């Protein structure tokens, strides 16, 4: 994928926020930086499949707000990127045979009782069989864009769509254990899609307290690390993200900090300027959302070292834990 194009913005300096949250975050940053120093001293995430992110599983759900962790947005394909991986890659593509999101089992009692989380696994595994349908244009507020894409894959053929569903299932279990009501935008339970606009509507209709779209990137070899994509301020057509910009940034920061802590993975070395956070204005899944929402690119499937992590079940469990811990931290304030 390319990381330039309409609406792409480099991470902007954060304006200081006031109040208890600022104090809490300031207290946590030294810990996050210490963790990062340990990470750097041992040479980053493990190079062996399944050994990555040797950091211990999260001991708590408190925020690890690392403002230095940035996330790149799903941007148009860059050199070396998979031609099938597009900016909104594999998002909301409406299928006529499925009219409601995959429902979760009844939530258990826990700290998130009464909270609704929508998980958006990027790219339906069946999209490649429905190229005509997913190539149709849909309105994303600022312009029109493809309904969905097929997503990318590792060089050995492990599909992004398979990765995103696996992580989504693991997250659902973890969040339900915390008492949340969890819904998926798709669970390979429809022929294709949903389209990016429908994916946004699913979260909106559910009145979600948080929505996270799961992805893996398809950039060039040597490009490594994760990134979180935040919505920019958009007011055009059906899109008005202004009310969700700040809460979405808070959600993204909590996820990024916890992702580093749990997986040991580094922020992207090719977008976001090492911050792990990138703002985008050209993604329908974000533009049309009326509830706090972010994307996370968990790594680069086209880099052999990142691919070794993404194809490891043990590492995917850590990824799910890190993202879930970030959501829990955000929802508990």
Give, in order, the Cα–Cα distances in Å from 47 to each of 44, 193, 301: 8, 34, 14
Find the catalytic residue in 133, 146, 253, 297. Answer: 297
* 139 neighbors 196 (Cβ within 8 angstroms): no
Terminal C-alpha separation, the chain: 34
* 283 neighbors 74 (Cβ within 8 angstroms): yes
In the numeric block, which tokens belong to residue 212? 């996270």
Instruction: Give the whole-angstrom CA distance, residue 69 versus residue 277.
Output: 6
Task: Report helix, strand or coil for 234.
Answer: coil
Angle between helices 313-332 and 160-177 (to 10 degrees): 50
Residues near 32 by beta carbon (within 8 Å), at least 6 away in sequence = 64, 65, 66, 68, 69, 257, 260, 261
**The Cα angle at residue 170 between residues 204 and 223, in degrees rounded to 5:** 85
297 labelled catalytic: yes
Burial class (CB in 10 A: 0-12, 13-18, 19+), 222: middle
Catalytically annotated residues = 297
């Amino acid at each position: 994928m390319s990381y330039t194009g309409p609406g792409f913005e480099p991470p902007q300096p954060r304006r200081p926020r006031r109040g208890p949250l600022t104090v809490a975050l300031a207290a946590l940053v030294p810990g996050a930086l210490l963790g990062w120093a340990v990470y750097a001293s041992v040479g980053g995430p493990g190079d062996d499949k399944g050994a990555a992110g040797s950091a211990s599983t999260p001991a708590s759900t408190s925020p690890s707000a690392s403002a230095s962790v940035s996330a790149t947005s799903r941007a148009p394909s860059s050199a070396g990127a998979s031609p099938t991986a597009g900016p909104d890659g594999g998002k909301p593509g409406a299928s006529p045979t499925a009219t409601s999101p995959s429902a979760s089992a009844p939530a258990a009692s826990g700290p998130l009782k009464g909270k609704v989380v929508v998980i958006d696994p990027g790219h339906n595994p069946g999209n490649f069989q429905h190229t005509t349908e997913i190539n149709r244009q849909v309105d994303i507020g600022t312009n029109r864009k493809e309904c969905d894409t097929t997503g990318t894959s590792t060089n050995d053929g492990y599909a992004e769509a398979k990765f995103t569903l696996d992580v989504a299932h693991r997250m659902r279990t973890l969040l339900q254990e915390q008492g949340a009501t969890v819904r998926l935008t798709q669970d390979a339970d429809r022929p294709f899609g949903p389209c990016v606009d429908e994916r946004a509507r699913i979260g909106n209709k559910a009145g979600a307290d948080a929505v996270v779209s799961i992805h893996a990137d398809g950039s060039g070899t040597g490009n490594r690390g994760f990134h979180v994509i935040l919505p920019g301020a958009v007011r055009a057509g059906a899109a008005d993200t202004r009310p969700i910009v700040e809460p979405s940034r808070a959600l993204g920061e909590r996820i990024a900090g916890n992702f580093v802590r749990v997986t040991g993975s580094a922020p992207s070395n090719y977008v976001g300027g090492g911050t792990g956070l990138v703002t985008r204005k050209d993604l329908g899944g974000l533009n049309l959302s009326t509830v706090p929402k972010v994307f996370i690119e968990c790594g680069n499937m086209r880099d052999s070292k990142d691919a070794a992590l993404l194809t490891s079940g043990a590492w995917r469990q850590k990824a799910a834990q890190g993202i879930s811990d970030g959501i829990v931290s955000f929802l508990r304030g």
